Structure 1
């Protein structure tokens, strides 16, 4: 007698397991994002550590990627290159948190070769945006409304898709 499961039941089991895994992923993700700002972002006009004028919302009329990172953050090392690439096509408001002095942030950006400037936050913006972990990313439309939030590693295609969708829906 053959005790091997029928191919149909094996496929069904794999589908159920995949749906459970996806559900768990989104549930955990939603839990980590529960305190993140999800309505109107504050108006920001500041100088970055390299002297660049940074603002939110952007004067370009394009959606802005707001990127909270820390120089010591391992996950940020995976996300920062994507943010740097995106900065050539969309406004990026990078905010360094818990990363030391302005000189420390400048040295970090230079060492990594990042072209984006950053505000060195001493806790005000981090608190206002509800950031509880790094990296934390927000896509803010031209009117200053938060359209997407993400905490943790994110890829360039995923970030570009969110920015593109926001641009389409403005």
Structure 2
């Protein structure tokens, strides 16, 4: 490898690390106002009308998103992937009626559990001010992590594993 290429690669690595640090600081700052209480909701009604019961023996990821949010669309496949291995409940906020959300899910090959927060009532309860926002609870519904903004699949898996 020539010296110019090595220097270029070092610069990319340095700025990537700096970028990740800045994003984490911003996420931390944005998450300071989020609801920090134990999850006190025991069940949610999903798009299909079925009831999603909170399990007391597994960690739970609760993900707030919106169909109109560009960052949410970048992150949706990460949420889809982790939903295959962990308990995941997503809340679509002000994203239309059930039919519109179902169409969005179908068009984007998404199969995770969705609650329609059409009027933003749940978002207010959790004090959501930016999308996407993710909460991770342990098996006793104690909040372990919050994340505002994009989160990688690896980051989600790591947080869920840590919450066991």
**TM tier, shorter chain?**
0.7 to 0.9
TM-score by length of 2: 0.82
List alignment gaps of at least 5 residues for structure 2: 1-13
Q: 1:71-97: CA deviations, max 9, x gaps? A: 011001111101111111111111000
Q: Which residue of 2 aligns with 1:9?
A: none
Q: Give 3-state SS (helix, strand or coil) of 1:106's partner.
A: helix
Q: Which residue of 1 aligns with 2:6?
A: none
List alignment gaps of at least 5 residues for structure 1: 1-14
2:32 to 31, 34, 38: 34
Greater Rg by CA:
1
Measured in 2, the distance between the counterparts of 1:25 and 1:90 equals 25
**What are the residue-to-residue correspondences of 1:3-22 with 2, within 5 Å?**
none
Q: Give 3-state SS (helix, strand or coil) of 1:68's partner.
A: strand
Runs of 4 or more above 6 Å deviation: 17-23
What RMSD, in angstroms, separates the aligned Cα atoms of the two structures? Answer: 2.4
Specify whether residues 109 and 31 from structure 1 end up closer, same or farther in structure 2 by C-alpha distance, changes over 3 A only.
same
Measured in 2, the distance between the counterparts of 1:18 and 1:78 equals 18
Specify whether residues 26 and 77 from structure 1 end up closer, same or farther in structure 2 by C-alpha distance, changes over 3 A only.
closer
**Aligned pair 1:50/2:40, yes or no?**
no
**What are the residue-to-residue correspondences of 1:110-125 with 2, within 5 Å?**
110-121=106-117, 122-125=119-122
Measured in 2, the distance between the counterparts of 1:158 and 1:24 equals 16
Aligned residue pairs, count:
152
Measured in 2, the distance between the counterparts of 1:166 and 1:148 equals 8
**Aligned pair 1:66/2:66, yes or no?**
no
Measured in 2, the distance between the counterparts of 1:94 and 1:29 equals 19
2:94 to 98, 106, 110: 98
TM-score by length of 1: 0.79
Q: Give 3-state SS (helix, strand or coil) of 2:90's partner.
A: strand
